[in-house]
Chains A and B, each alone.
Chain A
């Protein structure tokens, strides 16, 4: 009996292997590895990126530029060491042509080198640190979101344009928080009455809010992603500060936090390259399709991942397949696709040149909340690091 089972199993396996082999020879599908954060407190951001990318692939009929595509999703758990293991798995075991990810800049620092060393293409749909925008730029590395500083720069510009003279800065005490404060100050020339750096992950802001109330600044600038932002926004509201001190923020009120902030976020400001209510070709259809499939309003994370898939689609088609990497890279650089945010081009450092907007919060007809465009702040705006990059030009 055992011998029979063993023979049978061996025969089946052999058969499977043969079919797999012939299958591979006949179609030669393209493989894309998506590595994003799918567990931990920031999981909802990674889920948006994964879903946005998958939505695009589904709409394209499971193909990119006419080539069948297989998407392999990996979870980096927001831990650099885990991300390194997973991305090595994507490269060595799955042998992907393109890696799309990650969400967080510190994860990008961990996976950038292994992907570059393996000579694969890396496209970041969200993280855009300054580290790879200047002298360390790389022909195989693209960013489809923004350079991180730019979003904070928008808020500095807004504060300057509105004539605010005294601004209070409240950011978490880690690299991105300090970068955020520096980005804000690039265009803001008034007085910074105080810069408070809170512990990363702090959830009760009562002490800081009392200080803000006492200082009576013209505006508050803050960067509190995820759960921190949910708490800050609601406590700011409860402390009765919302109507008295304008709330300027980056990554603090967006589609990933609005389901928990709801009414409390109304009247607060953010900065982004896009909003669900934007009147660009295909945007309304994208938002409707995303809501229908996932039951949530898509945020910038979903939009950027969707754009990344569309960029790849156009590039693979122009390059006539994914086999010739040089041709594919050249085609990606032209960025000849319709971005949901309208204008989109790659700078010489392969970070985007695009428009930036001031956004606020509105309630949709279906009762859900979303960001919406208030005004354009920057037009065709590149980052300040591009001049240090020796590529292209």
Chain B
């Protein structure tokens, strides 16, 4: 029984990690390539979920809703870039933090005005409903497996895009030395815009994918944003590969920690104290991990070479 529980929790951790990766991928690119701190990245995840809700209820199909939500999230990201972010690239980090924090407040309130404050819900598509039997007596929701599959697909696509295409090469070059890329005649502003729009779309995709399992509500991206920053710090700022591995590590450590911290402590403490300590320690694990990584490898696990 215990091994299967570990297996199911590992899948849960993977699924959580995949969602984190989708958010962190855009964040690490924007931070790494443009040296721009975008706190509003979590809001773009929320916007993706709201778009998925709006288009799904409009078309009546989650597949179509998802297909429409992606370009909508892209357009929304580009719009934000043109209206706000473009004017902040040359400013220092404090001003970027203040401005993008303002966008969080504005958009959280904005979705409340448009869609109301109650949590909304997107139905799970018919063919992905229910659970698959993984083991005798053990079930795993089909939709969560679909999230893992879709996320791995996106990761593979990103890998190809970044490593084997001209745009990807420019992005990598930009992450290493943006000024030099610009001096070589590349329109760096346009590159920034594309990177930004793409990052927004990935976050929106994550939001749309979780809409059927989590409720869609104002502020849903705020907590994930903090985790996404932890991911890119551990992975190395600007590195997609680092973000992928760090996201999976964070997802697994957080999920397994929440489940098994108490059980592990019970081996050498009395049960009452173990569950109290386990409860307190579990949410700290990822931050302890981050502190350890920063201590031994200050630039992250996969630093971009400069």
Query: Which residues of A pack against B, CB within 8 Å?
Result: 39-41, 43-44, 173, 195, 197, 199, 201, 203-204, 206-208, 210-211, 213-214, 226-227, 230-231, 234-235, 238-240, 256-257, 259-262
Contacts and interface: CB of A to CB of B under 8 A. Distances in A.
Contacts of A210: 5, 8-9, 12, 259
**A interface secondary structure, majority:** helix
Given A234-B213, A234-B215, 15 more contacts: A39-B112, A40-B117, A41-B217, A43-B117, A43-B118, A204-B16, A206-B15, A207-B259, A210-B259, A227-B119, A230-B119, A235-B141, A257-B119, A259-B118, A260-B118
Contact of B141 (A44, A239, A260): A239
22 contacts: A43-B117, A197-B279, A199-B283, A203-B214, A204-B214, A207-B12, A207-B259, A208-B258, A210-B5, A211-B5, A213-B138, A214-B8, A227-B217, A230-B121, A230-B215, A231-B213, A231-B215, A238-B141, A240-B141, A259-B118, A260-B120, A261-B121
Nearest to A201: B223
Interface string B141-156: 1011000000000000
Contact of B214 (A40, A211, A226, A231): A231
B117 A207 contact: no
Contacts of B94: none
A201 B119 CA distance: 13
Contacts, number: 90
Nearest to B109: A39
A271 B213 CA distance: 26
Contacts of A41: 117, 119, 217-219
* For the complex of A and B, 5 pairs with smallest distance between CB atoms: A206-B12, A43-B117, A214-B5, A230-B215, A210-B8
Interface of B: 1-2, 4-5, 8-9, 12-13, 15-16, 112, 117-121, 124, 129-131, 138-139, 141, 143-144, 213-215, 217-220, 223, 255, 258-259, 275, 279, 283
A206 B16 contact: yes
Contacts of B16: 204, 206
B131 A239 contact: yes
Contact of A206 (B5, B144, B223): B144
A147 B282 CA distance: 32
Contacts of B117: 39-41, 43-44
A230 B117 CA distance: 14
Contacts of A199: 283
B14 to A, nearest CB: 11
Contacts of B130: 238, 240
Q: Which of A43, A173, A257, A260 has the most CB of B within 10 A?
A: A260
Contacts of A231: 213-215
Q: Which of B1, B13, B16, B213 has the most CB of A within 10 A?
A: B213
A339 B101 CA distance: 47
A213 B117 CA distance: 32
Contacts of A203: 214-215, 220
A260 B215 contact: yes
A39 B259 CA distance: 33
Contacts of A257: 119
B118 A214 contact: no
Contact of A240 (B131, B223, B258): B131
A44 B13 CA distance: 32
B119 A226 contact: yes
Contacts of A195: 275
Nearest to B143: A238
B141 A207 contact: no
Contacts of B255: 206-207
